[in-house]
Chains A and B, each alone.
Chain A
Amino acid sequence: MCALCGVLGGKGHWSDSASAPAVFAGRVEPQTRLRERQDRTRLLNTVLKDHGVAVKDWSGNAYLLTSRTGRTAIVDTVGEIWTAAERIGGRTCDPLDDGYLSALAKDQG
């Protein structure tokens, strides 16, 4: 628990390297949990840009989602982000949607 804000430790997700430390022990460049969350948050902002949803890491325990109209949601793990993003952004999150993928591919430059 965070002593300042009283937030309980968040639930883990299989994609957190910390869920399987032995698997990533041999990493060429050691990565901290915070750095991994920062990288993930940046990527989430890219993939949810067209949904009009911005994502912030909230105290390393949760993700704060905000829509263009100011609607917000807080979720514990990346697995819970999509339902919340659909609810506040009003658009389905489908990584197999051709139009969505084409828009994302443009971000690759």
Chain B
Amino acid sequence: MGSYSDLTPVNIITGFLGSGKTTLLQRLLRSPELSNVAVLVNEFGEVGLDHHLLQGVAESTLLLENGCLCCAVRGDLQKALRDLLSRRTRGDVPHFRRVVIETSGLADPAPIAYTLLSEAVLRHHFRLSGIITTVDAVNGAAQLDGFREAVKQASMADRIVVTKVDLSDGSAIAALRRRLRELNVSAQFLESTEIGGDVHRLLTDDIYDAEGKFREASQWTAEEVIDHGAHTHTAEVQSFTAIFDRPLDWTAFGVWTSMLLHRHGADVLRLKGLLNVAGVPTPVLINGVQHIVHPPSHLDEWPDADRRSRLIFIVRGLKRSQIERSLAVFNGLVNTVPSATHPRESSGPVRSTAF
């Protein structure tokens, strides 16, 4: 197996009940560029899907010992993906190059991401490409008010597709888009009627795709994303871009992020960033979903003249000022940590834990 970018990409299409997930999926699957896609759906709805590689899965979640819901393994998905992989290897199904998972309307996308990255077999064959969330223009605002699931689905998205715009009025749609933007500063926004010939880019653009990663990173560094202020909502979800003038030390960033996600991962819905890493001339891209961080990617050149690190956080109940201060303190430690000239290698004790 080659690099992370060689793994089979998996897209998640999520969205609240009746928000048009299956209709969107139907349109996507008509694109010739997506002819070799396997589709897993959680529930067969009223809109029929006609696809040669379609499989249903019954939603079931295996909660791990730590009890964290976002770190649960989706047992149904584990079985379905292993089965697909096995059938592809045997040649029983056409050689699919992408998998699209359509979730149920109340699903949490986080356990799907966790399953892909942590499951012993799957993590060597699949990677998360992007999360697409459909939001109903007519009922979306009320669903965001009343259901935490809807807020989480929108907050975690890489793309938000506003559907049923022909059934709503312009001012209501604009208000909904403003609200969604405040929840999720980094997502690309589309209305379902805007989706044209390049529909496949909804799925294929991500930071591991050679053709699409520059477009994806440019989305993260757009002016409206950088200038976006933090907003507080009833659900306490806010999104903001933290900017660091000083290059980040990769070791300090790794230790800090790991510690942050250990304590607050359930409340860090998304973490994305374009980093200026000390000693590395090209920008490093980072992408995380709650407790999970994907291996870093990079661009061959900077998307603009700005050389600052830009980190997008979508968080629940965490203070922006604390996050910015904390990373700055950790980054500042590196130059002050005394450097041992010849660190002594530790001996190899018996692998046990004494209490």
Would B337 and A46 count as touching, CB distance under 8 A? yes
Number of interface residues of B (CB under 8 A): 54
Q: Give B71 Cβ to nearest chain A Cβ, in Å.
A: 11
Residue B295 at the A interface, CB < 8 A?
A: yes
Would B326 and A96 count as touching, CB distance under 8 A? yes
Would A95 and B259 count as touching, CB distance under 8 A? yes
Would A22 and B298 count as touching, CB distance under 8 A? yes
Q: Name the contact of A72 in the complex, choosing from B257, B263, B353 (C-beta under 8 A).
A: B353
- In angstroms, Cα B258 to Cα A63, docked, is 15
Number of interface residues of A (CB under 8 A): 54
Would B279 and A27 count as touching, CB distance under 8 A? yes
Q: Name the contact of A64 in the complex, choosing from B256, B257, B279, B346 (C-beta under 8 A).
A: B346
Q: Give B293 Cβ to nearest chain A Cβ, in Å.
A: 5
Produce 1/0 per residue, B264-304, CB < 8 A to A. 10000000000000011110100000000111111000000
In the complex, residue of chain A having the shortest beta-carbon distance to the beta carbon of B342: A38
Would A29 and B279 count as touching, CB distance under 8 A? yes
Residue B167 at the A interface, CB < 8 A?
A: no
Q: Give B213 Cβ to nearest chain A Cβ, in Å.
A: 12
Produce 1/0 per residue, A45-68, CB < 8 A to B. 011000000001111001010000
Known A20-B296, A105-B329: A47·B346 in contact at CB below 8 Å = no
A contact residues around B260 at 8 Å (CB): 95-96
- In angstroms, Cα B58 to Cα A108, docked, is 53
- In angstroms, Cα B253 to Cα A105, docked, is 16
Q: Mark out the residues of chain B between 166 and 201 whose CB falls within 8 Å of any chain A CB in the assembled complex.
A: none
B279, B295, B348 — most chain A CB neighbours (10 Å):
B348
B contact residues around A36 at 8 Å (CB): 251
In the complex, residue of chain A having the shortest beta-carbon distance to the beta carbon of B331: A108
- In angstroms, Cα B322 to Cα A43, docked, is 20
Q: Name the contact of A78 in the complex, choosing from B254, B318, B319, B349 (C-beta under 8 A).
A: B254
Q: Name the contact of A96 in the complex, choosing from B298, B323, B339 (C-beta under 8 A).
A: B323
- In angstroms, Cα B323 to Cα A22, docked, is 29
Would B281 and A26 count as touching, CB distance under 8 A? yes
Where chain A touches its partner, the secondary structure class is mixed
Residue B165 at the A interface, CB < 8 A?
A: no
- In angstroms, Cα B337 to Cα A101, docked, is 16
A contact residues around B332 at 8 Å (CB): 105, 108
Would A71 and B355 count as touching, CB distance under 8 A? yes
Would B338 and A47 count as touching, CB distance under 8 A? no
A contact residues around B351 at 8 Å (CB): 62, 74
Would A15 and B255 count as touching, CB distance under 8 A? yes
Q: Name the contact of A43 in the complex, choosing from B262, B296, B337, B355 (C-beta under 8 A).
A: B337
Would B333 and A43 count as touching, CB distance under 8 A? yes
Residues of B within 8 A of A (CB): 3-4, 250-264, 279-282, 284, 293-298, 318-319, 322-323, 325-326, 329-330, 332-334, 336-340, 343, 345-346, 348-349, 351-355
Q: State the 8 A-B residue pairs at the shortest beta-carbon distance, nearest first.
A: A15-B254, A82-B262, A56-B346, A23-B298, A5-B348, A96-B322, A108-B332, A94-B263
Offer 11 A-B interface pairs, CB within 8 angstroms, sorted by A. A20-B298, A23-B298, A42-B343, A74-B351, A78-B254, A79-B258, A79-B262, A92-B263, A94-B264, A95-B326, A108-B333
